Amino acid sequence: MKPPAKALVTLAKFAVSIGILVLLLRAQDLSSLQADLLAVRLDMLALAVLLLFAQTFVLCHRWILILRAMKVPLDWLPGWRILMVSTFFNQVLPAGGDAVRIWMLRRHGVQWSPTISSIVADRFLGLLALALVILIGVPFLLSRTSENLLLFAVLGFVWTTCFCAIALLTLDWWPSRMTAAVPAKLVQCAMLVRNPLLAPQGRATLIGSATLIPLINVAACYTLANGLDAQLSALDAFVFIPLVTLLSAAPISIGGWGLREGAMVAALGLAGVAPDKALAISVLLGLCGLIVGLGGGLMWLVAPERADFTNRVWSRAEQTDAAPV
């Protein structure tokens, strides 16, 4: 993407985040929102930060298992450091986290194909786990809303994700005419992406860690709701928070800001939570994420990947590696 196009995309993302936030704030009583933010119980706020911090270890474990399935020998501590730094850049740059993760992994001498494929596999497995959690919550969602459009969208996402997973796992069974019509590098990437799902060792741990990540997000939101004395049950948090996570993951805003708040107000409204309380929960969740991200920013300042590799080693790696997928 050319620099002018990147600038336009970035401006569009800022516009989406700011526009949605302005609309939400205009519809709310700002004094009530401010009172909620200041009245949150500090122990619950600290617990939410700890939950999101613990989530980084689970995210790292998932990514390390994916890399090992792709025969990439990355140690756990460097992997966690890279993930923390990418978390920081996700907060301050549009789609910057994955780019930094790729750059730092390349600094460890990993070739382009497994580097990019590991990020794609990590994202896809996250979506697959989120779809599983949402699917489990569908029966409870049916009893809480009669919005056909919402139910159609939820089921559409679940079935589309499941279809993609099945298509990926059965890639070897596709007729040769179909695979021949797909670019060879795309097929190569797909084969690498599915390796973690087919790996005999660590597959159960991989799926378990992937499923645990959205549940930690649910627990963090439920903790913040308790800290605000919002009337949100654990079951309603399990049903609605994954939907908020899904919507806020769309790459059309800065760090999910705006999308997350709009989705939180709409989703928790179905659970009977007042809009000001729902908005406060979302803002506090974003601030907790920023606190965790700041830890990654500090790690970036001392990251050995910035200086440990000489230009000569980097140039040689560029010459011998395969072209980007």
Q: Are 248 and 214 in contact (CB under 8 A)?
A: no
In the chain, what percentage of residues exceed pLDDT 90? Answer: 29
**25-60 pLDDT, tens digit each:** 887 777 778 888 888 999 999 999 999 999 999 999
pLDDT in tens, 264-322: 998 998 888 988 899 999 999 999 999 999 998 888 888 777 665 444 434 444 444 44
At 153 the pLDDT is: 85
Structure tokens that stand for 298 in this block: 């500090």
Q: Is the pLDDT of residue 193 over 70?
A: yes
Nearest Cα to Cα of residue 305 among 55, 60, 84: 84
pTM (two decimals): 0.85
Alpha carbon of 193 to those of 22, 41, 68: distances in Å?
A: 39, 43, 12
pLDDT reported for residue 319: 45
Residue 22 pLDDT more than 50?
A: yes
Contact in structure between 116 and 102 (CB atoms under 8 Å): yes
Q: What is the pLDDT of residues 55-87, one digit of tens each?
A: 999 999 999 988 888 888 888 888 999 999 998
pLDDT of residue 136: 92
291: helix, strand or coil? helix
Single-letter code of the amino acid located at 148? N
Say whether 112 sits in a helix, a strand or coil. helix
Residue 247 has pLDDT above 90, yes or no: no
Residue 15's pLDDT band (boundaries 50, 70, 90)?
A: confident
Q: What's the pLDDT score for residue 31?
A: 79
CA 266 to mean position of chain CA atoms: 20
Give the three-state DSSP class for 219. Answer: helix
Say if residue 239's pLDDT is above 90.
yes
Between 150 and 306, the more confident residue is 150
Count other C-beta atoms under 10 Å from residue 179's C-beta.
14
Name the pLDDT band for 121 (thresholds 50, 70, 90). Answer: confident
What is the structure's pLDDT at 74?
A: 85
Per the listing, tokens 């920023």 go with 290
Q: What is the pLDDT of residue 56?
A: 95
What does the mean pLDDT of the chain come to? Answer: 83
289 Cβ neighbours under 8 A, 6+ residues apart: 52, 87, 91, 255
Domain limits, the chain: 72-320
